[in-house]
Structure 1
Amino acid sequence: MRTPALTAAAALLASLTLVFSGSAGAAPVSASGADGGHGRHGPAGRGFDRPYTGFAPAGTVLRRGTPRSAGLDAAPIDAFEQQMAQWENPASGANYLFPGATTLMAHDGVVVERGAGGYAVKYADATHELPADQWVPARTDTIYDLASLSKLFTSIVAMQQLEAGRIDLDTPVAHYLPEFATNGKGAITIEQLLTHTSGFDADPVPSLWQGYPDLPSREKAILDAKPINPPGTTYLYSDLNMLSLQLVLQKVTGKPLDTLVRDGITGPLRLTDTGYNPPASKLPRIAATEYEASPPRGMVRGQVHDENAWAMGGVAGHAGVFSTADDLAVLAQTILNGGTYKGRRILDRNSVTLMERNFNQAFPGDSHGLGFELDQIWYMGGLSGPQTLGHTGFTGTSLVIDPQSRSFAILLSNRVHPTRNTPSTNPPRRAIGTALAQAIPVRAPGRGPAWYSGQGGGTTSTLTTGALGSTGPVDVDFSAFVNTESTDLLSVESSTDGGTTWQPLPLRVTGSGAPAGSPTALSGQSVRAWWHVHAELPQAASTLLRWRYTTDPVYEGRGVDLAALSVTSGHHDLLRSAGLTPSGAWRQLPAAR
């Protein structure tokens, strides 16, 4: 049974007790009221349509609360919890994605959702379950193998060495590791390792555990790896980038990577459940991963799942870190705070800015900061945007940090338990980001009726008028807040044959970041601002008008908000007499007070 989001009573109790390991003394949660995430009133605070600039106050400390206490709408979060319970339930058939998972959402320093469900350990081997009395439930403090989220820890250590002057972004890797220059790698830079533009193939071939007998030979294999593309010409996500960076960091500091992570990140931030090769004392809280026959490791639990990281002794630049949702929450808030948490600074503000900057503008769709991926709707969902940072992990993990709303979402699962041959974890990754985005208020301009549609892929919603009944020119005006995938479109259409056929109207759009020209549809996540939209009809005696929002089957953003809908001819309000009929996911929101 899934542990639900915090109730008001639980939040009050939590505000009086220890919040996270290492986070004692958190401030209590205020009990300000809210009327829902899509209303235009409630507690003070910025909505999703009024993005923050700059870092959160350096003193921001995580504290538990309810969605209401943070000024959010609980409904999208509750719906996400219910969907997670389905994804964790084998009886769901094709919707079953993983044995267990832990989730956490936070906004403006308030943890508004922290849940767990399913089982951290359930299987004896690849096909057989353990006896039911040996199943281990997933908990909010379950420790998971982060897989490639480990790359973020390596990247943070690299930024610390950049600050210390031990490495430089533009300097070739071979300057620090002369042996690296072999096989045409002399020009590859530190920056190219961090942005996956070095030219390396995705993985070492042969794998480190298959092709080499010991750690020295495996490190030499990393140094000897041959690129498949010239450096700087291609984006290709590669574990070899972070394995190479690991060797650089160890060379310039004289310390192993696990020591650098402990001394530079987990120690200062008091992340007591985070690190490589967790001790046996923590095994009862560790989620199992895969049953491996080759190599013959059996059911992997408490050791890194990734075979190449295992071959590196469990400490690798690309994988190996274990952690909890609570510890990752502190790390995420540290990033939002500009590199500091509870007075313990692990990064300079400029370093965090560099991690948020897109270095891959030459590779559209593959935006990347230093270590962090940027603007990837395929797993960030409704939180995606040009400044949104994140990463995923093969074991079924993801972290999404949205500076514009000062929010983050964490999903940790054991989707490879007992086998990696499972459905994609991307739907819940997107869902947690979208749920949090939809919970954050959008405050429509004006005081008239407002409408909202947040809908699933492959669906269409319409708002349709009756016959407008005008013999003169008609003006159509409205405000729109559009947060969608680029191919999910909002259009305004007219019909003169009773709705059999429809034609899109050219739109004139004004406002921050508004599209130029006369587009016939609106979409995108690059701008979080209300636009004023105007369209014209020559005459409309029997014309119908509709607002149409359609999504393709792939990804969705937060959705579309409409406000101040006006259809006039001269001084005549045509919408008052023609009416407006919703279909699909459109729903009218409470009027502003």
Structure 2
Amino acid sequence: MQIQGYFDLKFEPVRDAFAALFDNPQERGAALCIQVGGETVVDLWAGTSDKAGGQAWHSDTILNVFSCTKTFTAVAALQLVAEGKLELDAPVAKIWPEFAAAGKQAVTLRQLLAHTAGVTGVRQPLAPETLYDWDAMCAALAAEAPWWTPGQAHGYSPISYGWLIGELLQRVDGRTPGRSIIARTAAPLGLDFHIGLADGEFVRVAEIARGKGSLGDAAAQRLLGVMLGEPQALSTLAFNNPPSVMTSTNKPEWRRMEQPAANGHGNARSLAGFYAGLLDGRLLDTALLAEMTREQAVGEDRTLLTRTRFGLGCMLDQPGDAGGGTFGLGPQAFGHPGAGGSLGFADPERALAFGFVTNTLGPYVLMDPRAQTLARAAGRCLAGK
């Protein structure tokens, strides 16, 4: 496999580890970008961008990075907190009165960002096309009763997070959620990142497809078992109601919509650049970044059925977890994985910002072993090992 791009010679082992991904014949295409102290030390890409394997992955290829989008959304919300337009600990219903229904009158923005609000999925079956009806989804979530007493437990909101935070952004910022988030995060940093993709950009979007032959780890198998066997379980409804959520990634209407939990489109460069912007203070001041990366929820996740640890709109490292809970570097690392393998994160101890994207979906629930391997290789290079 021909590896394209640039790497600092000190990071040649990272380049070798990236190339080794393609020893697996399942691997289609991927890209990796690492910045240290704001300087790009690795910017690599390889493979193919289409399902058939005939289209080369290019320098400007972008793809759906799924939940990597969530931290962009959180940063936009926190900027509005800094501007006094949102409050972390005020009731959401202060801005969105309908949201007070069914026992949610005290739910706060902090709880939504930390996945402790209990507004994780809709119990009433929704038609597939409801996915693309913003007002209908917001109305369904506003009417929904929490799955637990808000603030008393936590459970990841894989898709509802986008409507919940996005509706607040829309109400206070006067722009659609994708426009608000991009104007506040990607645009000031010059990043090739989109929430609501223009049709003219479709030609450079990599198609997403699942890898075959791997069932993943115990956490992945546990979650899959519930989703296949328990149609009314929280986990199932959180991921699969509307039922079109899991099957839409390559569809034009999914690319066009602004769903700021899961349909951001970008590349490894844009993920690394975003986290570099957080580390150097261009997106949030020191106090708000500290609040964002402070532990807000930890323990058994009622949606993912494994241990998770959250800040505000970001996952925090679980250093003792040799599996999916660690980013693979320092214990202060924070960021967010996307379904199937993409990952963006920062390690403040090393001033390192990391972005990895792939169009070959793996089965893991949290961090993908491919990204962890690359991050650990970067750590060894920085340590001179």
TM-score interval w.r.t. the shorter chain? 0.7 to 0.9
Q: 1:226 to 1:402 in 2, by over 3 A?
A: same
Which residue of 2 is the match for residue 322 of structure 1? 265
- Given candidates 335, 345, 351, the residue that maps to 1:400 is 345
**Aligned equivalents of 1:351, 1:409: Cα separation in 2:** 21
Q: 1:99 to 1:409 in 2, by over 3 A?
A: same
Q: Does 1:373 align with 2:315?
A: yes
Residue pair 2:327, 2:333 contacting (<8 A) in 1 also: no
**Aligned equivalents of 1:427, 1:321: Cα separation in 2:** 22
Identity percentage of aligned residues: 25
Q: 1:285 to 1:224 in 2, by over 3 A?
A: same
- Gaps of at least 5 residues in structure 2 are 211-242, 302-306
Q: 1:381 to 1:122 in 2, by over 3 A?
A: same
Residue pair 1:356, 1:369 contacting (<8 A) in 2 also: yes
**Aligned equivalents of 1:411, 1:304: Cα separation in 2:** 25
Q: Does 1:150 align with 2:69?
A: yes
Q: 1:284 to 1:242 in 2, by over 3 A?
A: closer
**Aligned equivalents of 1:110, 1:213: Cα separation in 2:** 39
Report the 3-state secondary structure (helix = DSSP H, G, I; strand = E; otherwise coil) of the residue aligned with 1:154: helix
Displacement after TM superposition at 1:111 (Å): 2.2
Residue pair 2:317, 2:325 contacting (<8 A) in 1 also: no
Q: Does 1:222 align with 2:141?
A: yes
**Aligned equivalents of 1:118, 1:384: Cα separation in 2:** 30
AA at the equivalent of 2:45: A
Which residue of 2 is the match for residue 334 of structure 1? 277
Question: How many correspondences in the alignment?
Answer: 341
- Given candidates 225, 248, 261, the residue that maps to 2:181 is 261
- Given candidates 322, 325, 328, the residue that maps to 1:382 is 328
Q: 1:102 to 1:162 in 2, by over 3 A?
A: same
TM-score after normalising by structure 1: 0.53
Q: 1:288 to 1:363 in 2, by over 3 A?
A: closer
TM-score after normalising by structure 2: 0.79
Residue pair 1:117, 1:138 contacting (<8 A) in 2 also: yes
Which residue of 2 is the match for residue 436 of structure 1? 378
Displacement after TM superposition at 1:164 (Å): 0.8
Query: Which has the larger share of helix?
Result: 2
Displacement after TM superposition at 1:412 (Å): 0.5
Question: CA RMSD for the aligned pairs?
Answer: 3.0
Residue pair 2:65, 2:338 contacting (<8 A) in 1 also: yes
Which residue of 1 is the match for residue 368 of structure 2? 426
Which residue of 2 is the match for residue 3 of structure 1? 3
AA at the equivalent of 1:74: E
Q: 1:168 to 1:112 in 2, by over 3 A?
A: same
Displacement after TM superposition at 1:370 (Å): 1.4
Q: Deviation digits for residues 398-456 of structure 1, max 9, x if unmatched?
A: 1121001111221101124xxxxx544711021121111121116xxxxxxxxx8xxxx
AA at the equivalent of 1:66: D
Query: Which has the larger share of strand?
Result: 1
Report the 3-state secondary structure (helix = DSSP H, G, I; strand = E; otherwise coil) of the residue aligned with 1:112: strand
Which residue of 1 is the match for residue 46 of structure 2? 117
Q: 1:67 to 1:368 in 2, by over 3 A?
A: farther
Displacement after TM superposition at 1:322 (Å): 0.8
Q: 1:206 to 1:432 in 2, by over 3 A?
A: farther
**Aligned equivalents of 2:368, 2:100: Cα separation in 1:** 37
Q: Counterparts in 2 of 1:288-327, with a 5 A limit?
A: 288-289=207-208, 301=250, 303=252, 314-327=257-270
**Aligned equivalents of 1:398, 1:380: Cα separation in 2:** 12
**Aligned equivalents of 2:203, 2:4: Cα separation in 1:** 22
Larger radius of gyration: 1
Which residue of 1 is the match for residue 89 of structure 2? 170
Q: 1:196 to 1:213 in 2, by over 3 A?
A: closer
Displacement after TM superposition at 1:352 (Å): 1.6
Displacement after TM superposition at 1:154 (Å): 1.2
Which residue of 1 is the match for residue 286 of structure 2? 349
Report the 3-state secondary structure (helix = DSSP H, G, I; strand = E; otherwise coil) of the residue aligned with 1:396: coil
- Given candidates 244, 247, 250, the residue that maps to 2:164 is 244
- Given candidates 2, 17, 22, the residue that maps to 1:85 is 22
